[in-house]
Amino acid sequence: GAGVSQSPRYKVAKRGQDVALRCDPISGHVSLFWYQQALGQGPEFLTYFQNEAQLDKSGLPSDRFFAERPEGSVSTLKIQRTQQEDSAVYLCASSISGRPLEQYFGPGTRLTVT
Amino acid sequence: QQPVQSPQAVILREGEDAVINCSSSKALYSVHWYRQKHGEAPVFLMILLKGGEQKGHEKISASFNEKKQQSSLYLTASQLSYSGTYFCGTGSANSGYALNFGKGTSLLVTP
């Protein structure tokens, strides 16, 4: 069956460029999460959507990070004026509802900022 | 607060057992276990929601001690396919939807 998909899988950006990362959650999943995973570390929470509403963005590291989910399905994580410390794997996960049920992860986008 | 996992790494021979622990300084609402292979997405293993609850899936099971704010993952008769990094993610009552992950336990099963 179709799982969570993310694109692009790999992105190389020059410092200062803007990037947009896309997440297609599992069809019908209400909740969508973005996590950042640095090399050798566990995923760190960035932001959470329930349908189109962004209910928590406390994990976004700076105002250069922006996420949206305008129609309650596909989500985009945008990073403006990328910095080297933004290099990481960005994981998207979806869950069927807003309750703390299992979250299913996508393969991630590996962002490298040079 | 990030949960603490132990051990950091373990090497097993096929057929041996292992225990991975996850502890938190905060009260827990839920504990989620994932396995991630290099370059791949974390794969959901199980979720534990109640104190004392034990869940199992084939030869992988887990327990959740709410009082001690700990969870343990038990791998019995390990298989080569069990190799990977295991993460526990904890949810609190305040934000049960956002998971706080540990740094992971690297498990290698050798023939």
Q: Are strands B70-75 and B60-65 parallel, antiparallel or unpaired?
A: antiparallel
Q: Of B67, B66, B109, B107, which Cα lies nearest the Cα of B87?
A: B107
- Could you give the CA distance from residue B61 to residue B77 in angstroms, rounded to a whole number? 12
Whether residue B31 contacts residue B47, with contact meaning beta carbons closer than 8 Å, is answered with yes
Residue among B43, B96, B102 minimizing CB distance to A100: B96
Q: Is the Cβ pair A95, B41 closer than 8 Å?
A: no
- In a mutational test of the A interface, the residue from B99, B103, B105, B106 whose CB has the highest number of chain A CBs within 10 Å is B99
What does the pLDDT profile of chain A (114 residues) look like in tens digits? Answer: 589 999 999 999 999 999 999 999 999 999 999 999 999 899 999 998 989 999 889 999 999 999 999 999 999 999 999 999 999 999 999 988 766 678 899 999 999 999
Identify all chain A residues contacting B55, using CB atoms and an 8 Å cutoff.
Answer: none
* C-alpha neighbours within 13 Å on the C-beta side of residue A91: 24
Whether residue B108 contacts residue B83, with contact meaning beta carbons closer than 8 Å, is answered with yes
Nearest residue on chain A to B104, alpha-carbon basis: A42
The shortest C-alpha distance from A93 to chain B (Å) reads 10
CB pairs under 8 A between A and B: 64
Residue among A42, A98, A99 minimizing CB distance to B103: A42
Whether residue A20 contacts residue A76, with contact meaning beta carbons closer than 8 Å, is answered with yes
Instruction: Give per-residue pLDDT as tens, B5-55.
Output: 999 999 999 999 999 999 998 877 889 999 999 989 999 998 888 666 666
